[in-house]
């Protein structure tokens, strides 16, 4: 079955440093979605990428979908303490399969 | 517009007790889901309902049952709670269960089984 791996599992950064999390699928995806979960909160949908090579930006966050539609990344420029949380990617399969979530990357930011 | 509402927010059970977690969505979504999240872990799908009248097992269905009561409501029942079921439970909904529709999550139910 479809598997989605996410690395790293944890990341500590100093406030102001950049951060990147990577998502890799064992199969070609129809789309990739990213979610953020604040500590003690619930996952919240951030963005969806559909096209091969697509790049989308939300303020300091840059999302990329790989050319082969099997990998994706989320890059945060100049992290802030408000960026703290766990970032999940979730991939949709081409056969209309359910979303498969990666294990998440927990970001901790030292002020 | 509440989105996805889960009750209760917290629950403590003794081993062997039963309980039902309630979930309702007001977004007219067709599909609903139950996930569990253990400390420091990712999301694991317990059961889902692609549309009203259907339910299917997810990755970790053992020890749980579900009911899609109507289009709005999807409940999760623990018949005989075990300490291994201590977790945070999230209900979610989406327009379709096609892997393309974004999920909207409820606030979660924090369950402890002693």
CB-neighbour burial class of residue B65 (10 A; exposed 0-12, middle 13-18, buried 19+): middle
Q: Is the model's pLDDT at A2 over the cut of 80?
A: no
Per the CB < 8 Å rule, is A43 touching B97? no
**Which segment of A1-5, A86-90, A98-102 scores lowest on mean pLDDT?**
A1-5
Dig out the tokens for A95 from the structure: 């056969």
Q: What is the pLDDT of residue A97?
A: 73
More confident residue, B9 or B40: B9
Q: Does A101 touch chain B (CB under 8 A)?
A: yes
Per the CB < 8 Å rule, is B42 touching A104? yes
- Looking at the DSSP bridge assignments, the partners of residue A10 are A106
Q: Is the model's pLDDT at A94 over the cut of 90?
A: no
How many angstroms separate the CA atoms of B92 and B94, rounded? 7
B41, B48, B102 ranked by CB distance to A45: nearest: B102
Q: Average of pLDDT values for B85-101? A: 95
Q: Does B38 touch chain A (CB under 8 A)?
A: no
Residue of B nearest to A85 (CA): B40
Counted across chains A and B, CB pairs separated by less than 8 A come out at 51
Residue A55 contacts residue A101 (beta carbons within 8 Å): no
Q: Does B27 touch chain A (CB under 8 A)?
A: no
- At residue A33 the predicted structure's pLDDT band, cuts being 50, 70 and 90, is very high
Q: What is the pLDDT of residue A48?
A: 98
Residue B5 contacts residue B106 (beta carbons within 8 Å): yes
Q: Average of pLDDT values for A43-60? A: 98
- SS3 (DSSP) at A83: helix
- At residue A32 the predicted structure's pLDDT band, cuts being 50, 70 and 90, is very high
Q: Is the model's pLDDT at B21 over the cut of 80?
A: yes
């Amino acid at each position: 079955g479809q598997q989605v791996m996410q690395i790293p599992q944890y990341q500590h950064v100093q406030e102001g440093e950049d951060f990147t999390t990577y998502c890799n699928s064992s199969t070609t995806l129809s789309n990739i979605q990213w979610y953020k979960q604040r500590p003690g909160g619930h996952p919240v949908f951030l963005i969806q990428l559909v096209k091969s090579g697509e790049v989308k930006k939300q303020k300091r966050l840059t999302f990329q979908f790989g050319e082969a539609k099997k990998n994706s990344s989320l890059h945060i420029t100049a992290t802030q303490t408000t960026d703290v949380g766990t970032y999940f990617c979730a991939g949709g399969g081409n056969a209309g399969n359910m979303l498969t979530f990666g294990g998440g990357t927990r970001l901790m930011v030292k002020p | 517009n509440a989105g996805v509402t889960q009750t209760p927010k917290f629950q403590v059970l003794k081993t062997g007790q039963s309980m039902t977690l309630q979930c309702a969505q007001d977004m007219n979504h067709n599909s609903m889901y139950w996930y569990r999240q253990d400390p420091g872990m990712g999301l694991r799908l317990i059961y889902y309902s692609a549309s009203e009248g259907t339910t299917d097992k997810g990755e970790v269905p053992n020890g749980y049952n579900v009911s899609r009561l109507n289009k709005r409501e999807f409940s999760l029942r623990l018949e005989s709670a075990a300490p291994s079921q201590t977790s945070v439970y999230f209900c979610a909904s989406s327009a379709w269960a096609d892997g393309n529709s974004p999920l909207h999550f409820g606030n979660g139910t924090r369950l402890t089984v002693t």
